[in-house]
Amino acid sequence: MTTTAPVPLTARADQPRPAGVRHEHAWITVSRHATSEGVLRYVRCVSCDAHRVDVRAPGSAAPEAVSRTVERH
Instruction: State pLDDT tens for residues 31-40.
Output: 999 999 999 9
Residue 36: domain span: 27-65
The rounded mean pLDDT for the chain is 79
The structure's pTM equals 0.63
| 52 domain-assigned | yes
Query: Looking at residue 14, what is its pLDDT?
Result: 56
| 10 domain-assigned | no
Q: Is the pLDDT of residue 8 over 70?
A: no
Number of folded domains that form the chain: 1
Number of helices (H) and strands (E) in the chain: give both, helices first. 0, 4
Q: Encode pLDDT of 46-70 as tens digits.
A: 988 889 999 999 998 888 988 888 7
| 5 domain-assigned | no
| 71 domain-assigned | no
CB count within 10 Å of CB 47 equals: 19
Spatial distance between the Cα atoms of 18 and 24, rounded to a whole number of angstroms: 15
